[in-house]
Every structure is written in structure tokens, then in C-alpha cells.
């Protein structure tokens, strides 16, 4: 399995007063064998952990990257 960096835009699902951030971009590191698996992992995470937001669109997917450590370092660079 490889690691992928998925960059995406989030929109709030409630009024702007109900959330700390409005529309914004974020990046996640996902483990998977393809870009599609990485995107699906991101969709799952957004629906589960970030339920006050919906995924507007995928900006880009970078990878494959051999190790999680390298992917996390690249995510923040």
C-alpha cells in the first residue's frame, strides 16, 4: 500500500455563525492502493469526523508516496 496526499475544499453545512471556519481547504494523508481509494478515504473522514462540513470538491491528489512519514512531511511543506 502507498500513501496519498488529498487536498480538498470544505463548505459548512450550517450557517456561518455555527462553525468556526467557513469555506476552506484542507489536506489529508490517506493510505490506499490507488487515487480512488485515497479519495474515498477522505470522503469517509469528512462525513465522519468533520460532520459540520461537506466536501465541495477535490483539488488534487499527490502520490503515490512510499511511507507515511514522507507523506506527512510533504503535506506540510
Which tens digit of pLDDT belongs to each residue from 13-55?
876 566 666 788 999 999 999 999 999 999 998 888 767 788 8
Q: Distance between CA 62 and CA 54 in Å, rounded? A: 21
CA pair distance 28, 6, nearest whole angstrom:
5
Domains in the chain, please, with CATH? Answer: 2-76 (3.10.20)
Q: Rounded CA gap, 11 and 76, in Å? A: 22
Q: Say if residues 11 and 61 touch (Cβ distance below 8 Å).
A: no
Question: In the structure grid, which three cell numbers stand for residue 61, read together?
Answer: 491528489
What global pTM score does this model have?
0.81
Amino acid at each position: 500500500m502507498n500513501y496519498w496526499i488529498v487536498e480538498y475544499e470544505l463548505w459548512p453545512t450550517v450557517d456561518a455563525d455555527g462553525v468556526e471556519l467557513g469555506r476552506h481547504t484542507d489536506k489529508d494523508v490517506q493510505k490506499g492502493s490507488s487515487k480512488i481509494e485515497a479519495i474515498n478515504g477522505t470522503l469517509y473522514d469528512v462525513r465522519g469526523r468533520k460532520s459540520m462540513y461537506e466536501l465541495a470538491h477535490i483539488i488534487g491528489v499527490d502520490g503515490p508516496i512510499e511511507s507515511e512519514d514522507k507523506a506527512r512531511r510533504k503535506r506540510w511543506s
